[in-house]
Structure 1
Amino acid sequence: MQVTQTSSQGLKQEFKVVLPAADLAAKLGAQLAEVQAKAQIKGFRPGKAPIGHLKKLYGKSIMGEVLQEAVNEANRKIVEDNGLRIAVEPKLDFPGGQDEVERALAAEGDFAFTVTFETLPKFEVGALDDIALERPVAEVGDDDVDAALKNLADRVQEFEPRAEGSKAEKGDKLTIDFTGRLDGVPFEGGTGGDIDIVLGSGTFIPGFEEQLEGAGVGDQRLVKVKFPDDYSAAHLAGKDAEFDVTVKGVAAPKAMEIGEDLAKKYGFENFEAMKTAVKGNLEADFHKVSRDRLKRALLDALDGRYSFELPETLVEQEFNNIWQQHEAEARRSGQPLAEEGKTEEETRAEFRKIAERRVRLGLVLAEIGQNAGVKVEDKDLTEALVERARMFPGQEKQVWDFYRNNEQALAQLRAPIYEERVVDHISKLIKITDKPVTKDELFKEEDEA
Structure 2
Amino acid sequence: MKTVETENKGLKRAYEITIPAKEIEARVDAEVKKVAPNVRMPGFRPGKVPPNLIRKMHGEALQADALNNSVQDAVQKTIADNKLRPALQPEVALADGYEHGKDAVITVSLEALPDIKAPKVDGIKLERLTVEPDEKAVTERVEQIASSQKSWKDAAKTKKADKGDLVVMDFVGKVDGEAFDGGTGEGMEVELGSGRLIPGFEDQLEGVKTGDEKTLNVTFPDDYPAENLKSKPATFDVKVTAVKTETKTKIDDDFAKNMGLKDLDQLKDLVRDQAAQELNGLTRTHMKRKLLDQLAGAHDFDVPPSMVEAEYQNIMNQLRHEASHEDDAEAALKEIEADADDYKAIAERRVRLGLLLSEIGQANGVEITQQEMNRLMAQAAQQYQPEQQQQFFKYIQENPMAAAQLRAPLYEEKVVDFLFEKADIKDKKVTREQLEAAIEAEDDAEAEKAKAPAKKKAPAKKAAPAKKEAAKKAPAKKAAEKKPAAKKEPAKKAPAKKPAAKKAPAKKKAPAKAK
TM-score by length of 2: 0.66
Query: Are 1:6 and 2:6 counterparts?
Result: yes
Report % sequence identity: 29
2:336, 2:135 → 1: CA distance?
A: 49
- 1:336 match: 330
- 1:150 match: 143
Which stretch of the first structure deviates more once superposed, 318-327 or 61-70?
A: 318-327
Query: Are 1:405 and 2:394 counterparts?
Result: yes
The change in CA–CA distance for 1:396 and 1:255 in structure 2 (over 3 A counts) is farther
- 1:16 match: 16
Which stretch of the first structure deviates more once superposed, 419-428 or 330-339?
A: 330-339
How do 1:30-429 residues align onto structure 2 when only pairs under 5 Å count?
30-95=30-95, 97=96, 99-100=97-98, 103=99, 106=100, 108-164=101-157, 165-166=159-160, 168=162, 196=190, 215-217=206-208, 251-333=244-326, 335-336=329-330, 344=337, 346-384=338-376, 397=386, 401=390, 403-407=392-396, 411-429=404-422
The change in CA–CA distance for 1:59 and 1:379 in structure 2 (over 3 A counts) is closer
- 2:461 match: none
The change in CA–CA distance for 1:134 and 1:250 in structure 2 (over 3 A counts) is farther
The residue identity in structure 2 corresponding to 1:270 is D
How do 1:426-441 residues align onto structure 2 when only pairs under 5 Å count?
426-441=419-434
CA contact (8 A) 1:322 1:351 kept: yes
Higher relative contact order (CA 8 A, sep 6+): 2
1:86, 1:411 → 2: CA distance?
A: 13
The change in CA–CA distance for 1:124 and 1:34 in structure 2 (over 3 A counts) is closer
2:270, 2:119 → 1: CA distance?
A: 43
Q: Does the residue aligned with 2:5 lie in a helix, a strand or coil?
A: strand
The change in CA–CA distance for 1:359 and 1:196 in structure 2 (over 3 A counts) is farther
- The C-alpha deviation readout for 1:376-422, integer Å capped at 9, x for no partner, is 23444455556667x77xx8855864653331665444322111111
- The C-alpha deviation readout for 1:89-127, integer Å capped at 9, x for no partner, is 1111333x0x22xx1xx2x21111121231101122432
The change in CA–CA distance for 1:65 and 1:385 in structure 2 (over 3 A counts) is closer
1:270, 1:338 → 2: CA distance?
A: 48
Give unmatched runs, 5+ long, in structure 2. Answer: 170-184, 217-235, 444-515
1:114, 1:282 → 2: CA distance?
A: 57
The change in CA–CA distance for 1:72 and 1:285 in structure 2 (over 3 A counts) is same
- 1:190 match: none
2:34, 2:432 → 1: CA distance?
A: 73
2:163, 2:208 → 1: CA distance?
A: 13
Which stretch of the first structure deviates more once superposed, 85-94 or 252-261?
A: 252-261
Q: Does the residue aligned with 1:109 lie in a helix, a strand or coil?
A: coil
The residue identity in structure 1 corresponding to 2:119 is G
The change in CA–CA distance for 1:400 and 1:82 in structure 2 (over 3 A counts) is same
Q: Does the residue aligned with 1:405 lie in a helix, a strand or coil?
A: helix
The residue identity in structure 1 corresponding to 2:36 is Q
In the TM superposition, residue 140 of structure 1 has moved relative to its aligned partner by 0.9
1:27, 1:406 → 2: CA distance?
A: 27
- The C-alpha deviation readout for 1:149-206, integer Å capped at 9, x for no partner, is 2223234433234334345466x55789xxxxxxxxxxxxxxxx9785587xxx879x
- The C-alpha deviation readout for 1:18-41, integer Å capped at 9, x for no partner, is 111122222212212333332112
- The C-alpha deviation readout for 1:291-339, integer Å capped at 9, x for no partner, is 1122222223322332211111111211222222333334343523776
Which stretch of the first structure deviates more once superposed, 279-288 or 157-166?
A: 157-166
2:344, 2:112 → 1: CA distance?
A: 20
1:157, 1:369 → 2: CA distance?
A: 52
Q: Does the residue aligned with 1:258 lie in a helix, a strand or coil?
A: coil
1:195, 1:348 → 2: CA distance?
A: 51
CA contact (8 A) 1:14 1:114 kept: yes
1:262, 1:280 → 2: CA distance?
A: 19
Higher helix share: 1
CA contact (8 A) 2:119 2:360 kept: no
1:405, 1:125 → 2: CA distance?
A: 35
CA contact (8 A) 1:125 1:364 kept: no
The residue identity in structure 2 corresponding to 1:135 is R
CA contact (8 A) 2:319 2:336 kept: no
1:278, 1:323 → 2: CA distance?
A: 36
- The C-alpha deviation readout for 1:341-385, integer Å capped at 9, x for no partner, is x583x4221221122122111111111111111112344445555
- The C-alpha deviation readout for 1:271-301, integer Å capped at 9, x for no partner, is 3233222211211111111111222222233
2:15, 2:361 → 1: CA distance?
A: 31
Give unmatched runs, 5+ long, in structure 1. Answer: 177-192, 222-245
1:274, 1:431 → 2: CA distance?
A: 37
Aligned-residue RMSD, C-alpha: 3.8
Q: Does the residue aligned with 2:329 lie in a helix, a strand or coil?
A: coil
Q: Does the residue aligned with 1:8 lie in a helix, a strand or coil?
A: strand
The change in CA–CA distance for 1:328 and 1:281 in structure 2 (over 3 A counts) is closer
2:251, 2:391 → 1: CA distance?
A: 44
2:403, 2:7 → 1: CA distance?
A: 35
The change in CA–CA distance for 1:126 and 1:413 in structure 2 (over 3 A counts) is closer
